[in-house]
Amino acid sequence: MESAPQTPTMAAAGDVLRVADLPGRGRGLVAARNVREGEVLLSEPPVLLYPSTLSSLRSYCSACFRSLPPAATIPCVSCRAAAFCSPACAAASHPHLLCAALSHGGGAGLAAAAPTEAIQEPLLFLLSAYSLPESTMRSMLSLSSAPPPPPGAQDAAGLHAAVAALAPPHMLPQGLSPDLTAALLAKDRGNSFAIMEPYRHGMSLELLKARAYAVYPRASLFNHDCLPNACHFDYPDRPGPGNTDIVVRALHDIPEGREVCISYFAANWRYADRQRRLLEDYGFRCECDRCQVESQWKDDDDNNGDDGDDTMEEEGEDDVGDRGDDGIEEEEGDGATNGGDDDFPHAYFFVRYLCDNEGCWGMLAPLPPSPNGDLSHVFECNLCGKLRKEEDVIPDEGTSGMVH
Ligand SMILES: [Zn+2]
Ligand SMILES: [Zn+2]
Ligand SMILES: [Zn+2]
Ligand SMILES: [Zn+2]
Low-confidence ranges of the chain (pLDDT < 70): 1-14, 205-206, 299-343, 394-404
Domain boundaries 10-44+217-393, CATH class: mainly beta
For the stretch 128-147, pLDDT in tens is 999 999 999 999 999 999 99
pLDDT at 301: 54
Domain ranges of the chain: 10-44+217-393, 48-213
Dist. CA 220 → ligand 1 center (Å): 25
Looking at residue 155, the DSSP 8-state letter turns out to be -
Cβ(102)–Cβ(79) below 8 Å: yes
Residue 308 has a pLDDT of 38
State residue 95 phi and psi, 5-degree precision: -55, 130
Nearest to 280 by CA among 159, 185, 146: 146
The residue type found at 38 is: G
pLDDT tens profile 75-113: 999 999 999 999 999 999 999 999 999 998 778 889 899
**Spatial distance between the Cα atoms of 122 and 189, rounded to a whole number of angstroms:** 9
In the reported structure, the alpha carbon of residue 66 is separated from the centroid of ligand 1 by a whole-number distance in angstroms of 6
At residue 124, the pLDDT reads 97
Ligand 1 center from residue 382 Cα (angstroms) = 22
Give distance in angstroms: CA of 137 to centre of ligand 4: 35
Ligand (nearest to CA of 274): 3
The whole-model pTM stands at 0.83
Q: What is the pLDDT of residue 328?
A: 34
